[in-house]
Amino acid sequence: MASNAPVGKPTDMSAPRLPKVAGIDSTVPAPPHTTAPLPGVPPAASPSDAALPPGVLIQDRLASWVSDLTTLHELTERLIKTSSLDGALREVLGAGAALVGARRGMAVLEPADGLGPTSTIGLGLAHADLGTIETVPRGSGSYGRLLDGLPEAGPTAPGPSSTRPAHVPEPIAIRDVRTEEGLDPRHREVAARLGYAASYALPLATEEAGGLGAAVWLYDEPAEPDERRRHLIGLYGRFATEHLARLLQVERARVRVATVAEELLPSRLPRVPGVRLAVRHLTGPQGGGDWYDALPLPEGALGLAVGSVSGTGPSALAAMGRLRASLRAYAVMEGEDPVAVLSDLELLLRLTEPARSATALFAYAEPAQRRIVLAGAGHAPPLVVGDRRTEFVETSLSAPLGMLTCWEAPSVELSPAPGETVLLYTDGLLRRTGDATDRAFARLHAAAASVPGADRSDPGAVADHVLRTLLPEGLDPAVEGEDVVLLAARFA
């Protein structure tokens, strides 16, 4: 049975020292003559206290208090800089290990509402070690018992239920796995195999946020955090839970937006003789109005389109869906004339959504003849990538759709050579680099020119190389901004 009473100190092997903060040694636990400074923690009894002058004792207590508060401030400052659930869990594990005096641990994200996402992160534990720990029966492991007792989020609306807050389970300390009563034999086997002798498990839960998961830290020898350490990790754990709850909301919103956006876009790219297609679509947390399309047309022709609707969120997604559906209809009726297609699209946008603007590029391709006719409305020019050239298509400058009373711009014709790839993209690809427009175009050109020769035959590999070069860290899911669309068409 788990025991929560303080019994001694962690061993030196398992108890790293916290860094000095503001000139004060913030080592936990405090020296014997120092009373625990934080509210709710009883003072440590020490015979030497009576021998100290009152002023010295007060200064000592204040110094320890300031040290604890400064340490917590630094740890929470580091935590709030994390922008992903996995990054936040790793930070929680590292900070918690320092606070409780452990060397290894694991954190499990498993929201009590069952809506996910779920993940397991280890500190000082390999992936195989985490799998070994998960073989312990859930009801025997301390973190498993906490997860099974996690509450759902507390009520947010006033009413009778508001007076009955959800119960948050207490931390579970196992001072010695070998002698603890009630443990499953498999628990002792796993502990012996991985070389840990004690554990301290903390629920990642609050009454307001509900239960999000649990963290457990492992000691190399029998040990248990004292009351002061418990108090510090409890304060930090409540703050960490609220931060994780915010990140969870962002992640769930991003997934919902991405799902809606994908449903509004083609479920698959068409197969047309003479051309191979690939697309990459990256979505931000709020969801933008960037879109693409590839539409088979009569006589072996192919319509290619990319565009962007102003704004973000559900309204932009809805506008994007309407605009894309309309363009498909216009492309079937008069796809051989890209200028007419965009003119009809501009008229529709001006009549139905006068407060919104959009950019678009439509290309009518005849793969058998390797001929493309295209027109753009305020959109970035395509890029042709081949063994002998990497150059932007010279298109005429034109205003975005919805900006003029009557939109019209001349079309451009080009003939890609065999093996060349034409890249259509949205402005989000350029703006996500964070560079000025000229610099972003130059970086895009350099990225396309540096595609390895072995990858040039695969449009998907070309698109991946360009994205990795321009956005080496990918699209940060927590940073608001435009979506990124990259549509590659390689001609045989």
DSSP 100-166: HT-SEEEEEE--TTS----EEEEES--HHHHHHHTTS-TTTSHHHHHHHTPPPPPP-S-SGGGGSPP
In a domain, 338, yes or no: yes
3 state DSSP class of 341: helix
**Omega within 30 of 0 (cis) for the link into 225:** no
Give, in degrees to the nearest 5, the angle at Cα 236 between 44 and 89: 140
User: Residue 101 class from Cβ within 10 Å (0-12 exposed, 13-18 middle, 19+ buried)?
Assistant: buried
- Residues of the domain holding 151: 47-155+165-255
How many structural domains are present in the chain?
A: 2
| 186 and 108 share one domain | yes
DSSP string, 462-482: HHHHHHHHH-TT---TTS---
Sign of CA dihedral 306, 310, 313, 314: negative
| 130 and 64 share one domain | yes
The tens digit of pLDDT for each residue in 277-304 reads: 999 998 766 667 889 999 999 999 999 9
Q: Between 479 and 227, name the one with better pLDDT.
A: 227
In a domain, 31, yes or no: no
Confidence (pTM): 0.65
List the strands of the sheet with 484-491, edge to edge: 275-282, 484-491, 421-425, 383-385, 390-392
Burial 429-465 (b: 16+ CB within 10 A, else e): bbebbeeeeeebbebbeebbeebeeeebebbebbbbb
What share of the chain in percent tops pLDDT 70?
A: 83
At 266, phi and psi to the nearest 5? -55, 135
| 367 and 390 share one domain | yes
| 203 and 311 share one domain | no
For the cut 70, the answer to whether the pLDDT of residue 231 exceeds it is yes
Contact 251, 85 (CB under 8 A): yes
In a domain, 458, yes or no: yes
For the cut 90, the answer to whether the pLDDT of residue 350 exceeds it is no
| 475 and 381 share one domain | yes
List the CATH number of the domain containing 347.
Answer: 3.60.40.10
Residues 6+ apart with CB under 8 A from 436: none
For the cut 90, the answer to whether the pLDDT of residue 188 exceeds it is yes
Would you tell me how many other CB atoms lie within 10 Å of the CB of residue 473?
6
Q: Which of 208, 232, 255 is the last residue of a domain?
A: 255
In a domain, 368, yes or no: yes
Q: Between 54 and 253, name the one with better pLDDT.
A: 253
Predicted local distance difference test score (pLDDT) of residue 18: 45
List the CATH number of the domain containing 178.
Answer: 3.30.450.40
Radius of gyration of the CA atoms of the chain, in A: 30
H or E stretch covering 435? none
| 67 and 141 share one domain | yes
In a domain, 276, yes or no: yes
Identify the weakest region by mean pLDDT among 43-47, 88-92, 250-254, 391-395: 43-47
Take residue 318 and report the two structure tokens written for it: 């809805």
In the block, tokens 């529709």 appear at 348
d(CA 121, CA 140): 20
| 103 and 140 share one domain | yes
Give, in degrees to the nearest 5, the angle at Cα 124 between 119 and 129: 65
Predicted local distance difference test score (pLDDT) of residue 479: 58
Identify the weakest region by mean pLDDT among 38-47, 122-131, 186-195: 38-47
| 208 and 122 share one domain | yes
In a domain, 177, yes or no: yes
- Band of residue 424 on the pLDDT scale cut at 50, 70, 90: very high
d(CA 308, CA 312): 10
| 449 and 325 share one domain | yes
| 207 and 179 share one domain | yes
- Band of residue 163 on the pLDDT scale cut at 50, 70, 90: very low
By C-alpha distance, which of 3, 8, 7, 11 is closest to 183?
A: 3
In a domain, 36, yes or no: no
| 183 and 298 share one domain | no
Residue 274, Ramachandran bin (φ over 0: left; ψ between -120 and 50: alpha; else beta)? left
- Extended beta strands in 244-345, E state: 275-282, 288-297, 301-312
Predicted local distance difference test score (pLDDT) of residue 421: 97
d(CA 374, CA 363): 4
Q: Which of 255, 282, 308 is the last residue of a domain?
A: 255
In a domain, 369, yes or no: yes
Q: Which of 255, 285, 320 is the last residue of a domain?
A: 255
Give me the torsion for CA of 175, 181, 184, 188, rounded to 10°: 40
| 319 and 456 share one domain | yes
